[in-house]
Amino acid sequence: MTDRRTVILARISQALGHAAAADAPAVLQRVNDHARGPQPQWAEAPRERFLAKLAKVAGTHAELASEAEIVGAVADYLAAQTLPQRLCVAPHPLLADVVWPQGWQVAHRRAQGDDRIGLAVAFCGIAETGSLMLLSGPDSPTSLNFLPDDFICLLPEDRIVPRMEDAWALLRAERGSLPRATNIITGPSRTADVEQTIQLGAHGPRRLHVLLKGGRHA
């Protein structure tokens, strides 16, 4: 289809009156500047804003003082939802040292079709919309974010940034480039395709539970 590429590009260039170039100065400048559009403003602190927006999209949360409280918080959630003690856990450094109770079935791998509960770690939180950003990689399989019925996500409090643009800046600073999948997740899965009635749990998780961890990010 190389000829089609030439044909289409020629038509565009003719309409615009210039020759196509991936390194045109206007393009390079724009792509490297990362100029931001108008930034929505609000009064609350990022943490308060994040939690308020998370609640608005039917996400729940628990507050943890440290990593040591992860097991307790997950146990509480499973008990409250009357769920089995069977977890699929992301092979993430922040979860590596967690000692799960005897008798729990805990797998560290990508998710499979019959996994009920997934646990992963967010790259950061976005206060503006109460969103979590997750980056695919060996320590964060994307299937975990979407296949289980219940998605539990650890978010260190100091990883909440104000806006999406701040998340991009953080991503560029820490990772350099985008992973295969960058997921911005805002609440559980939902649909309004039947008579415009909002129903949670269409294809992705039915529930989203954030473990908001205080203290310093390890």
Which residues ranging from 37 to 96 are in contact with other proteins (CB under 8 A)?
Answer: 37-41, 53, 57, 91
> What is residue 114's three-state secondary structure?
coil
Which CB atom, from 70 or from 115, has the smaller least distance to other proteins?
115
- Tell me how many degrees the CA angle 135-141-144 measures, rounded to the nearest 5: 110
Q: Cβ(208)–Cβ(185) under 8 Å? A: yes
Q: Which one of residues 75, 104, 137, 158 is an interface residue with other proteins (CB under 8 A)?
A: 137
N residues, the chain: 218
HSE of 14 in the Cβ direction (CA atoms, 13 Å)? 6
Determine the interface stretch with other proteins among 18-26, 67-75, 79-87, 210-218 (rule: CB under 8 A).
Answer: 18-26
Q: Which one of residues 117, 124, 142, 153 is an interface residue with other proteins (CB under 8 A)?
A: 142
Report d(CA 15, CA 12) in Å as an integer: 5
Smallest CA-to-CA distance from 168 within 204, 208, 133, 196 is with 133
Which CB atom, from 85 or from 186, has the smaller least distance to other proteins?
186
Q: Cβ(134)–Cβ(140) under 8 Å? A: yes
Interface positions, 176-195, toward other proteins (CB under 8 A): 177-195
Report d(CA 92, CA 105) in Å as an integer: 17
C-alpha 84: how far from chain center: 25
Interface positions, 156-175, toward other proteins (CB under 8 A): 163-165, 168
Which CB atom, from 20 or from 80, has the smaller least distance to other proteins?
20
Which CB atom, from 103 or from 138, has the smaller least distance to other proteins?
138
Query: Using the rule CB under 8 A, is 103 a contact of other proteins?
Result: no
Q: Which one of residues 66, 202, 214, 215 is an interface residue with other proteins (CB under 8 A)?
A: 202
Report d(CA 94, CA 101) in Å as an integer: 17
Least distance (Å) between residue 65 CB and other proteins: 29
Determine the interface stretch with other proteins among 78-86, 97-105, 110-118, 210-218 (rule: CB under 8 A).
Answer: 110-118
Contacts for 129 with CB less than 8 Å, ≥ 6 apart: 53, 164, 186
Q: Which one of residues 205, 207, 209, 211 is an interface residue with other proteins (CB under 8 A)?
A: 205
Q: Hunting for tokens 């991936």 — which residue is that?
A: 22
Which CB atom, from 62 or from 183, has the smaller least distance to other proteins?
183
Determine the interface stretch with other proteins among 44-52, 72-80, 99-107, 129-137 (rule: CB under 8 A).
Answer: 129-137
